[in-house]
Amino acid sequence: MTENMWLFEEEAYRDGETAVCGVDEAGRGPLAGPVYAAAVILPRGLVIEGLDDSKKLTAKKRDALFDIIREKALAYGVASASAREIDEKNILNATFLAMNRAMEALGVPFSIALIDGNRGEGVAYPCRCIVGGDGLSESIAAASVLAKVSRDRYMTALAEKYPGYGFERHKGYGTKAHYAALRSLGPSEAHRVTFLKKMH
């Protein structure tokens, strides 16, 4: 997990790219809340100790890395697409919307985005898709952490607005407790209506 995490970035720089940004999302699967995305431009060659795919890290480790990434990044942007936008546009298009907003929020020019996954058709900027990129690229891993922590914090705050659903625990994902709360309380305004159609 050292300089090998810079293989894709270095390849892009060798190809003549001037600034490489990593992009990832968090929260495509939950029944409630927005989908988040982050974009990060790191100083070339910077290795952040302990950085990995956010899903492999503890919440405590993610929180610590969140501050380090924001401090060391040349630029970063975090953005989201709401539950309503997810219902209107579908989750894939809403994810692209959040990614584009995150890249806009960088506030500095970049020449290519490295995006986690295999779909880039809705991205408004030059990009390259890397399957499993959040575990292979330093820039994407950094974006993964910013998106995940930002979304988790949002869902924890949302739990105070919509008590009883347990958002602070499951962050909107479809756990047994979440489905039980939905059956007793019905959906809140924070829920994705199109995702609830799959409920039994």
Instruction: State pLDDT tens for residues 14-49.
Output: 999 999 999 999 999 999 999 999 999 999 999 999
Domain 3-196 has CATH 3.30.420.10: yes
Query: Which pTM value belongs to this model?
Result: 0.96
Instruction: State pLDDT tens for residues 136-192.
Output: 999 999 999 999 999 999 999 999 999 999 999 999 999 999 999 999 999 999 999
Q: Are 173 and 29 in contact, with CB atoms under 8 Å apart?
A: yes
**E strands, 27-66, where?**
35-41
Q: Are 51 and 62 in contact, with CB atoms under 8 Å apart?
A: no
The residues spanned by each domain of the chain are 3-196
Q: Torsion-angle region of residue 162: left (phi > 0), alpha (psi -120 to 50) or beta? A: beta
